[in-house]
Chain A
Amino acid sequence: EDQVTQSPEALRLQEGESSSLNCSYTVSGLRGLFWYRQDPGKGPEFLFTLYSAGEEKEKERLKATLTKKESFLHITAPKPEDSATYLCAVRTAGGTSYGKLTFGQGTILTVHP
């Protein structure tokens, strides 16, 4: 069974304190790993897609990386507005052309000024 585990469950940072969020996965045939940001009471906002080990994507203060077993979301010099829940999801081979995603439980990030 496909599994996605995110750690830590919650992370509190001071503004400017860089850190990383982890997403480890056990899947049969990875067809993409996705990072989303979700603010309370709102829908997930798409951030990145990663497909192969060694791939990296960047957007402002965020950088996502992928290995064969895990992905990291690095946050450099975070600001309070980066506070949100960060969700990792994987799409696995299943014979369909659309994406059935398996989500991790998320990491709640709080950045204090």
Chain B
Amino acid sequence: DTEVTQTPKHLVMGMTNKKSLKCEQHMGHRAMYWYKQKAKKPPELMFVYSYEKLSINESVPSRFSPECPNSSLLNLHLHALQPEDSALYLCASSSLVSHNEQFFGPGTRLTVL
């Protein structure tokens, strides 16, 4: 199984809402990533988890809060977002012992009104 799944596929939220994005992989990967991608731009790294611990936070605003409950799951909690946060949010995972190819999920299309 080389699949990373993400839910929901689409999310529309107001600036006062609280919502969560979910990501799951069953490849045994111990590194998981959150990326943000704006239209016609490459993915931008937000967070990296290694062995369920936060390893990298790319100076992301605190209105984005990641969580890694176990080795297969990764969440991104959203609160008080701004319209400019509207983007495609991508989850990825990779092995820590092989060539580190990152496998991406299909993404969640987020719209903040």
Contacts and interface: CB of A to CB of B under 8 A. Distances in A.
Interface centre among B41, B48, B100, B106, by most A CB within 10 Å?
B100
A91 B45 CA distance: 13
Given A96-B55, A100-B56, A43 B107 contact: yes
A87 interface: yes
Given A41-B109, A97-B96, A46 B50 contact: no
Contacts of A105: 41-42
Q: In which size bucket is the chain B interface? A: 20 to 34
Given A103-B42, A104-B42, A106-B42, A98 B96 contact: yes
A98 B48 contact: yes
Nearest to B9: A41
A49 interface: yes
Interface of A: 31-32, 34, 36, 41-46, 49, 51, 87, 89, 91, 96-101, 103-106
